[in-house]
Structure 1
Amino acid sequence: MSGAGAPDGGPATGPRRLTWVQPEDLLPHELAASRDEGRDVTALVERWAAAGGEVTAPVGGASAVPASPELRALAGELLDAADALPGPDPADEPDDLAAVRATWPTAWNLPATVELDRLHGAWLGRAVGCLLGKPVERIPRHGIREILTATGRWPLRGYFTAKGLPAEVAARWPWNRRSAPTSLAENIAGMPEDDDLNFALLALRVLETYGPDFTSADVAQAWLDWLPAGRVFTAERVAYRNLLLGLTPPETARRHNPFREWIGAQIRTDVYGWTNPGRPDLAAEAAWRDAAVSHVRAGAYGAIWVAALAAAAPVAGGIDEVLDAGESVLPPGSRFTAAVREARALGAGTDDWESIVDTLYERHGHLHWVHVRNNAALVAAALAYGRGDLERSICAVVSGGWDTDSTGATVGAVTGALAGASGLPEGWVAPLGNRLASSIAGFDGVGFDALASRTLALARGAA
C-alpha cells in the first residue's frame, strides 16, 4: 500500500530492514536529488565512493546489507554537507509561499457553489483510480502491458485480475503483494486501505479540528496524533523522524530529506480544493501549509497544483477549465510547470496514448518512479487525453506506469468530480461497496457518501 513509495518487502533473504531512514540509504538518493536540482555533488560522490559506499540509490528504500558504523557516520556527515549546498535559483523555483503567490491571478472565473453529488463523485473517483492502480504499483509500464496482453485485456478497461494470467508472466511481474489480495477484481470487497485515501481523511480531520486557517504545525501535530508511523514512506517518513527529533516545519522537510521533491505532498491535498470550490488560491495556500511539513519546491508545487485542480473540478464545466486552474497557481519559470504544460499539450494533441507516454518517458524516465515531476506530467497528459471521461482517463494514466495508484487516484478524483457520483459507471463504483478501510482512527469503514457530506459542510463553512 502506498502512492508515496511504500516498500514492497525487504531483501529476498535475511532479516528485513527499516526503509527510508538510514543515512547510508538516504545519501545515494540525496546525490540523485541534488544533481536534479543542479547542485555540484562531485566531491561528495568521490568521498563516498572512496569509502566503499554505494552510489546507486536502492529502489526499495533500503540496501540489502547494513553499513558499518564508520560508513554510516560518513553518510550522515555527507548528508549535512549536501543540505548546506545552495539550491535552485529562487527566481524560477521559489521555496516560499509569498513568492509563489505573487504570480497568481487576482480573480477567478469559476462558480463557487458546489453540489453534494459532485463532491461524492470526487471521493468515489479518487478511490476508483487508486484501486485500479494498486496491484501494479512498482510494475514498470512494459510489465503492465504484458500482463494485460497475456490475458486478452489490452488496452486496459477494468480492474486487474489474475484470472487467465500465465504462470510465467505472473512470475516475471508479481503483483504488489501488499495490495493484490484486496485490489484484484476477484477479491475487491470495499476500498482497501491506502495512503492516497488516508491522507485525504487526515486533511478532512485537520480542517474539522483546526479550521481553514490551520498551520503547518497543526498538520505536524495531526500526524503525531492520528497517523501511524508505519503508514508513511519516503519524505513523510523522514519528516516524521525529524518531528520526533524535535524539528518543526519547514525544517522537518529539509533535514536529510532526499525525497523532498517526490510525490508525497501531491497525494495529500484534494480535500483542500474540494472545501474551497471555485477558489484555487485558497486551496493552494492550504496545500502549501500541509506540504511544508515534508516537501520543498517541486514537491510543494505538486501539492498546490492538485489542490487547485480539486478546487475547480467540482464546479467547472470541463477539463480545460480544471487544468487552467491548476496551472494558474504554479511558478511560471519552474521545471515542474514546464513539465505539466508540455504534458497537457501532448495529451490534447493526439489519440495515440502510447506515443504520448513514449515522449513522457523520453523527458522524465531518468527520475525515480515516485518523483513528483514525471508523475505530474503523466497526470496532466491523461487528464487532457481523457477529456473528462473517468474510464478513459484512469485507464490511460495507470497503463502509463510509475506511481500507478497515486496517479490513478488524482485523475480519478478530478474526473469523478466533473461527472458527479450520479454520472459514474456502476461497474467501477459498485465494487467499493460504499466502504473505505483505514488505520486513521475513527474512519475505518466510513462510507463515501458520509465523507462527501462532511466535505460539503466544510465547503459551505468556508463560503
Structure 2
Amino acid sequence: MKKLTVALIALGYVVGCAAKEIRIDKKAYAEKLQGFWLGQSIANWTGLITEMDKIGTPETMPFYTDDDWGKPDQKAFWGEYVPHASTINFYFETSGTPWGADDDTDIEYVYLHLHHKYKTAQLTAEQLRQGWLTHTYSETDAPLYKKFADSTPTAENFLWVSNERARILMAQGMLPPQTSEVEHNQFYNMIDAQLTTELFGLLAPGKPKLALTIAELPIRISANHEAASIARFYIVMHALAAVIDHSLPRSQQVFSLAEQASLVLAQEQFPLKMYQFIKQHYQQNSDKSDWEATRDAVYQRYQLQTNDGYKYEQPFDAGINFAASLISLFYGQGDIVETIRIGTLVGWDSDNPTATWGGLLGFILGAQGVKNAFNQHQLSDSYWIHRTRRNFRDYTPTQAGEDTFSLMAERSIKIINRILEQTAPVQYWLIKSE
C-alpha cells in the first residue's frame, strides 16, 4: 500500500483539494450517468465486432486501418465471427430491444447492486466474494449458450483469464486481495480490472482519492502491480470528469483528465513510461489523423520488443491494451464517435478500451449528448443483465431486459449520497435541480 499512498498524496496536491465545496445537480448528474451506461454499451458492442481480430501478427493477419471501416468483419484469431454484426461499423440497439450485458458492463452492474443492497460506502471482501458467487456462474453451472443459430450449444459463464481465476479462488473460500496475489493468480497482469471498476470514479464525483479507496478491493479481486495501476488511472479520470472545465475544448478536457490521472502511475513501472511514449508520439505526429503510425510504433516497441519494463505475453495483457486505449484517446481528441471508431480498429482486445472511453465520454456528454453525437435518437435505455449474470431483480417486468439506464442512474444517486454522507459530509452537496 505504500506506493499507492504516495501516489494518492501527490494526486491530492494537484486535483483533490482545490475546491472546498462541490455542488452537483442530481438530475443533471443522473442524466450523465445514463450517458455513461449508454456510451459504454455502444462502444462495447461496436468494439466486440473486431475483438481479437488483429493481435499483432501483421505478416499473416495485417492490422486494420481506416480503410477497413464499413467493410466486412474478419474472423477473430480463434477462428470465429461475431453473431451480432457482419460489417465493421457502429452498433446500436433501438427502443424495445435491450442492450445485452457483457463483461465490460456486467461486473460494474454487480457492484452497483451490492452498494445498493448493503447500503454501504465501501464493500467488504466478504461482501464482494458473496456478490461474485451469487451473481456470476461457475464453469460447471453455467447455462448453455449458442453463439450462432447453427452452432453447438456450449456452457459459457462469461468470465475469462484473471476474473475466471479469481472466481475459482473465491469459490474455494479465498478473499480479495489474495485472489490477485501472484502466487494464487497467474493472470494478475491481464486487462480484467479495467473492465470492472471505472464506475467507482463516478460514485465519488470530483474526489479521486475517495474513488480509489472504495475501488481498491474490487481492483484487487483480479489485478495486481501494473494492471492494478492501470485500473486506478481509469478510475481517476472518471472521478475527475465530474468537475471537468467545460469552458475548454473537449480535446483539452480529456487530455487534462489523462494528465492528472497519470499521477497514480509509479515512476518505476511501465504504464507511466507507456503513457509518456504514446503522448509524445502523438504530439510529434504532424498528422493528427494518422493514428495508425502510433499503433504501429506501439506494436514495434511493446510487442515485438521489450521496452520500459513491459514484456508482452498475451493480447489481453493490461499493458498492450492500455497502450491501445491511449492511442484512441489522444487521436480521438474527445470526440466520442471518432474515439470509438479508432478504438475499434486499433487492434488487440478492442472492445475493452472502446467501452472505457465510450463510458467516460458518454458521461461527459450525458445521454442526450450521446444520441446527438451519433445522430441516433431512438436508442434503447433497457439493459439485459441476465444475458451474462444471474439472480437479479427484474425492475422492468413488462418489457425486455431487467433494468434501464434511467433506473440504474437513480439508484446510483442514492449510493453517491450515502458515500458522501459517510466519507465527506462537509465538502459535498448533492442538490436538486433548480
Letter in 2 for 1:208: H
Give the equivalent residue in structure 2 for 1:355: 293
Of 288, 299, 324 in structure 1, the residue corresponding to residue 227 of structure 2 is 299
Is contact 2:344–2:350 with CA below 8 Å preserved after alignment?
yes
Give the equivalent residue in structure 1 for 2:104: 196
Letter in 1 for 2:164: R
Matches within 5 A, 1:2-401: 97-98=4-5, 100-106=7-13, 107-108=15-16, 109=18, 113=24, 115-140=29-54, 154=67, 156=69, 162=72, 175-177=80-82, 180=85, 188=93, 189-210=97-118, 211-229=120-138, 230-254=157-181, 255-317=183-245, 318-350=253-285, 351=288, 352-365=290-303, 366-401=312-347
How far apart, CA to CA, are the structure 2 residues paired with 1:161 and 1:435?
A: 29
How far apart, CA to CA, are the structure 1 residues paired with 2:136 and 2:319?
A: 26
Cα distance change, pair 213–231 in 1 and its aligned pair in 2 (3 A): same
Correspondence 1:438 to 2:394: no
Q: TM-score, normalised by structure 1?
A: 0.69
Q: Deviations over 1:68-113 (max 9, x none)?
A: xxxxxxxxxxxxxxxxxxxxxxxxxx78744554543345247562
Indicate the SS of the match to 2:243. coil
Cα distance change, pair 453–181 in 1 and its aligned pair in 2 (3 A): farther
Cα distance change, pair 196–187 in 1 and its aligned pair in 2 (3 A): closer
Indicate the SS of the match to 1:113. strand
Letter in 1 for 2:418: G
How far apart, CA to CA, are the structure 2 residues paired with 1:294 and 1:364?
A: 23
CA drift of 1:313 comes to 2.1
Gapped regions of structure 2 (runs ≥ 5): 139-156, 246-252, 304-311, 395-400, 421-434
How far apart, CA to CA, are the structure 2 residues paired with 1:96 and 1:337?
A: 14
Which one has the bigger strand percentage? 2
Is contact 1:367–1:374 with CA below 8 Å preserved after alignment?
no
Is contact 2:52–2:77 with CA below 8 Å preserved after alignment?
no
How many residues are aligned here? 359
Cα distance change, pair 117–321 in 1 and its aligned pair in 2 (3 A): farther
Identity fraction in percent: 22
How far apart, CA to CA, are the structure 1 residues paired with 2:280 and 2:63?
A: 29
CA drift of 1:321 comes to 2.7
CA drift of 1:385 comes to 1.8
Q: Deviations over 1:261-301 (max 9, x none)?
A: 11101111121111111111111222221111222111211
Is contact 1:277–1:311 with CA below 8 Å preserved after alignment?
yes
Letter in 2 for 1:209: K
Q: Deviations over 1:380-433 (max 9, x none)?
A: 232122121101111111210111111110011121122222222454755751
How far apart, CA to CA, are the structure 1 residues paired with 2:377 and 2:302?
A: 36
How far apart, CA to CA, are the structure 2 residues paired with 1:172 and 1:295?
A: 25
Indicate the SS of the match to 2:200. helix
Is contact 2:161–2:187 with CA below 8 Å preserved after alignment?
yes
Letter in 1 for 2:328: A
How far apart, CA to CA, are the structure 1 residues paired with 2:217 and 2:356?
A: 19
Letter in 1 for 2:404: G
How far apart, CA to CA, are the structure 2 residues paired with 1:96 and 1:176?
A: 43
Q: Aligned Cα RMSD in Å?
A: 3.3
Give the equivalent residue in structure 1 for 2:419: 462
CA drift of 1:363 comes to 2.3
Letter in 2 for 1:442: R
Q: Deviations over 1:209-232 (max 9, x none)?
A: 332222233222210122223232
How far apart, CA to CA, are the structure 2 residues paired with 1:137 and 1:401?
A: 7
CA drift of 1:161 comes to 7.2
Cα distance change, pair 143–116 in 1 and its aligned pair in 2 (3 A): farther
How far apart, CA to CA, are the structure 1 residues paired with 2:283 and 2:293?
A: 12
Q: Please say which of residues 203-212 and 263-272 is displaced more in the overlay.
A: 203-212
How far apart, CA to CA, are the structure 1 residues paired with 2:76 and 2:113?
A: 41
Cα distance change, pair 128–431 in 1 and its aligned pair in 2 (3 A): farther
CA drift of 1:148 comes to 7.5
Q: Please say which of residues 265-274 and 226-235 is displaced more in the overlay.
A: 226-235
Correspondence 1:448 to 2:405: yes
| Highest RCO, 1 vs 2 (Cα 8 Å, sep ≥ 6) | 2
How far apart, CA to CA, are the structure 2 residues paired with 1:121 and 1:216?
A: 30
Q: TM-score, normalised by structure 2?
A: 0.73
Letter in 1 for 2:300: E
How far apart, CA to CA, are the structure 1 residues paired with 2:60 and 2:407?
A: 34
Indicate the SS of the match to 1:436. strand
Cα distance change, pair 345–245 in 1 and its aligned pair in 2 (3 A): same
How far apart, CA to CA, are the structure 2 residues paired with 1:274 and 1:423?
A: 18
Cα distance change, pair 177–331 in 1 and its aligned pair in 2 (3 A): same
Q: Please say which of residues 249-258 and 173-182 is displaced more in the overlay.
A: 173-182
Cα distance change, pair 237–182 in 1 and its aligned pair in 2 (3 A): farther
Q: Deviations over 1:1-34 (max 9, x none)?
A: xxxxxxxxxxxxxxxxxxxxxxxxxxxxxxxxxx
CA drift of 1:186 comes to 8.3
How far apart, CA to CA, are the structure 2 residues paired with 1:270 and 1:124?
A: 14
Gapped regions of structure 1 (runs ≥ 5): 1-93
Q: Please say which of residues 391-400 and 330-339 is displaced more in the overlay.
A: 330-339
